[in-house]
Amino acid sequence: MRRNFLVFVLAISLCAIATPARSEAVSAETKMVLVKTIYGDISPKSVRSSGNGLVSAHNMMYRHSVTIYDSQTFELIKTVPDSVQLSKFGLSKFTSIFRGAPVEGAYSPDGKYLYVTNYAMYGKGFNREGHDTCSPASKYDKSFLYRINLENYLIDNVYPVGSVPKVVEVTPDNKYILVSNWCSYDLKVISVASQKVVKTIKIGRYPRGIAISNDSKVAYVAEMGGSRIHVVNLEDFSISYIPIGVIPRAIVLSPDNSMLYVTLNLSGRVASWNLLTNKAGKTVTTGKAARSLAISNDGTALFVVNFTSDTISKVRTSDMKTLQTIKACNEPIGITYDVPTSRTWVACYGGSIKIFDNI
């Protein structure tokens, strides 16, 4: 009996050794499985993982809120209204309470803050709300970036940016906050030290996606109204270009920063670019209107939402082959990969968030 027990224990031990921990599993070898759907008073334009326990959804003018969730339990931690008293932040000409319209978010590297762009502002003095079709000549109202303090979930600072700000990213060294302004055709560079805009960089028609190198020296900005990525040197603000393809929308970098991946919205494709050789890589068609994308922490898999196809796709980066396509929801528009849990969160415009395990 004892011998059989020892054999059983040894077998269990060997299985434990042979089976890799979930965090060690190769992402390209796993499958997405739906584990949770979150409903509520939401209409998320995007979702974003903090990488340390939080996921936020940014609910635009349809709900005027940012909702923040526990990435482990999926529980709603806080609903942050987008109402602010701008005069409280030194903007004395704005005397009443104003509402925003949260679009996208980004966390500070130290985990203290969540920065959120607002498509437009609502209140006295804001009379020309931005539009998806526009130019600087349209003279739509300029908007604001919010900073949410994650200790108390209050908006504790605001930053004047451009007209219809879309994407926000923070440099890994916490030196700059970058904001792409859709109707202003520019990129605002905000200094964390001074809390002011220190540079405005002209991009061209409809700036959107932003990715930043690990060393904080280079930013990649998608010109969605064109066919190129602007490569911004964050040390001297000089610019070069990558001819990526028509209507680039979202950008991610591989963990080692050797590859750049971009959704091409009109063609429903994801393109790759080798940053070491400065040459185009393979592309893959994922669905109609490829929008946002995310990358696994090991860099082996991309996750893409296809807005018009109502699907999400998982793509293997080594050969740009689609591994899995799932009918997700009506109009999936935002996506994020939560590293601690190896889960993919998807923002559904219609009013839900889908969470997929990768197992």
Tens of pLDDT, residue by residue over 46-96, are 999 999 999 999 999 999 999 999 999 999 999 999 999 999 999 999 999
CA 355 to chain centre: 16
Cα distance between the two ends of the chain:
36
Worst-scoring range by mean pLDDT, 18-27, 134-143, 314-323? 18-27
Q: How much helix, strand and coil, in percent to the nearest 5, is found in the chain?
A: 10, 50, 40
Domain 24-358 homologous superfamily, CATH: YVTN repeat-like/Quinoprotein amine dehydrogenase (2.130.10.10)
Residue at token pair 């009109």: 266
Predicted confidence (pLDDT) per residue in 144-165, tens digit: 999 999 999 999 999 999 999 9
**Domain range summary for the chain, segments of one domain joined by +:** 24-358
Predicted confidence (pLDDT) per residue in 272-308, tens digit: 999 999 999 999 999 999 999 999 999 999 999 999 9
Q: Is 18 helix (H, G, I), strand (E, B) or coil?
A: helix
| Whole-number average pLDDT of the chain | 94
Does residue 335 surpass a pLDDT of 80? yes
| Burial class of residue 124 in the structure, from the number of CB atoms within 10 Å of its CB (0-12 exposed, 13-18 middle, 19+ buried) | exposed
Reported pTM: 0.93
Cα torsion 79, 184, 139, 89 to 10°: value is: 40
Looking from the CA of 32 toward its CB, the CA atoms found within 13 Å total 28
Looking at the DSSP bridge assignments, the partners of residue 259 are 274
Residue at token pair 């409809």: 206
Q: Residue 295 has what pLDDT? A: 98
Q: Residue 25 has what pLDDT? A: 86
Does residue 13 surpass a pLDDT of 60? no
CA geometry: angle 136, 137, 143, nearest 5 deg: 45
What does the buried/exposed string (b/e) look like for 276-286 if buried means 16 or more CB atoms within 10 Å of the residue's CB?
eeeeebebbeb
